[in-house]
Amino acid sequence: MIPTTFISELAQFTNTQIAKVVLNGSYEIDTFRIKKVDAGTVELEYMIPAGSVAEVTLIELKSSKGQVVSSNEAYMPITSDTIIKHTVTVKEA
C-alpha cells in the first residue's frame, strides 16, 4: 500500500508539471481560473473562449517544455465561453 502522504506528494509534483492545456493539438490555454491540489487530486479550471475552437476533440495537459502530462479524447461543441473543470486523480492501482 502506498501511504497517502506519498500520493499527495505525487499529486503536488503533477500539479507543478502542468503549465498549459492544449486543445485539438493546437489551441493553447495557459491561464487557469483554479489550479490546486487537494490530497491526491489535481483540480484545474479554465475557460475556452467562444470562437477559439468550434469543438474540442482532444484535451492535453502539457508541461512548460511541451511534454504531455495527460491526454484525453473528448467531444464538446463550443458555442459560447465554456468553463471546464478538469481533475487528475493520483491513486494506487
What pLDDT, in 10s, does the model give residues 30-56? 999 999 999 999 999 999 999 999 999
CB of 74 closer than 8 Å to CB of 22:
no
Domain count, the chain: 1
Q: What is the pTM of this model?
A: 0.91
- In this predicted structure, what is the pLDDT of residue 52? 97
- In this predicted structure, what is the pLDDT of residue 74? 96
- In this predicted structure, what is the pLDDT of residue 10? 96
Nearest in space to 68 (alpha carbons), one of 27, 14, 32: 14
Tell me, what DSSP letter sits at residue 7?
Answer: H
Question: Coil, helix or strand for 3?
Answer: coil
Residue 53: give the domain boundaries: 4-89
The sheet carrying 82-89 orders its strands as: 34-38, 41-48, 82-89
- In this predicted structure, what is the pLDDT of residue 93? 83
- In this predicted structure, what is the pLDDT of residue 89? 96
The low-confidence residues of the chain, meaning pLDDT below 70, are none
